[in-house]
Amino acid sequence: MIFKCRNCGGNTVYSPEKGGMYCPHCESTGSEEKIGDSSLVQCVNCGAPIQITQYTSACRCEHCGNYLIFNERVENVFEPKLILPFRIGKEGAAAAMEKEFSRRLFAPADFLSAKSLEKMEGVYVPFWLYDYDADYDFAGEGTRVRTWRSGDTEYTETSYFEVVRRMDVDFDRIPVDASIAMNDSVMDLMEPYDYRALADFAPQYMSGFFGEVYNQKAEELDERAQAKARQASEELLQGSLTGYTTVRPYRKNLHLTREGFCYALMPVWQYAYRYRDKSYLYHVNGQTGKVIGVTPVSRGKVLAYGASVFAAVTALCYMAVHVLEIL
């Protein structure tokens, strides 16, 4: 499908800044209408062929620039229950990149250029959100050690305690990405999201962005969700064991029960940069602006900086010798 403007016929897209559908051609809002069927791998606007993967749910036509959403990949079993709309537009994502990397001294000159950042694309990444109940039964021996000195003698007193903890915790909406193309570690680093902004899915949110359907079913990713629930449970337990010098556990029973899961789409900006035959991929959380990525290093800048430092040191040495000769 494609969302066209009823006023001018242009492609309407979802605007994070305006919080709704917007036509960049006539600058109208709320004027969208759904056109066409996505069962064909050709643009319903200009007829040009479009190459997509088996998981593509939304893309941009390289010929006419319009964004298309494929009906059968956002309906029925592939219809998300929830979507977290983009809160940050391309300009905001570029600003987040500049804030994060502008102080990197040895980054290539065009790394953050307007021309390079224009290639940034917004993607709705498929996620499964899991609900888990954690029942943690813990028992151990805790110690508190007190040391003091009297005269020349040092004394140590060790007190022993039985430490018991019972925790029943509900974890709601543990996020696990369901995209093979996305690096799982990077997607984990994109957290946290503010779930208060989650909305019921509507295809209008996807207009103007790329999108994927889930590549893996919820059952296939359940172990990753459980691992996150275990880690969070352990952190809560450790946070409750303060005040002891040592704690030696002798019973640790954690029981996890999956209460449910739902399919959702999360907003991510992607920026690909190629330098010296190596590709660098950056991700920006489309809601919070959090940036993940490593800056490439320009050898030319490193050499130039080294030469300037060497020249400065040489000049200082020459001046010092000259002053000593005068004295």
What per-residue confidence (pLDDT) applies to 307?
43
Give the separation between CA 276 and CA 271, rounded to whole angstroms. 17
What per-residue confidence (pLDDT) applies to 313?
52
98 burial type by CB count under 10 A (0-12 exposed, 13-18 middle, 19+ buried):
middle
Q: 145 and 156 in contact (C-beta within 8 Å)?
A: yes
What per-residue confidence (pLDDT) applies to 18?
85
Token pair, residue 40, equals: 């064909």
What per-residue confidence (pLDDT) applies to 234?
96
pTM of the model: 0.79
What per-residue confidence (pLDDT) applies to 28?
82
What per-residue confidence (pLDDT) applies to 35?
65
Give the separation between CA 69 and CA 205, rounded to whole angstroms. 10
Q: 118 and 261 in contact (C-beta within 8 Å)?
A: no
What per-residue confidence (pLDDT) applies to 108?
65
What per-residue confidence (pLDDT) applies to 109?
66
What per-residue confidence (pLDDT) applies to 326?
59
Q: Over the stretch 10-41, which tens digit does the pLDDT of each residue have?
A: 788 888 888 888 888 778 888 787 765 444 56
What per-residue confidence (pLDDT) applies to 118?
85
What per-residue confidence (pLDDT) applies to 91?
93
pLDDT under 50: residue ranges of the chain: 37-39, 298-299, 301-311
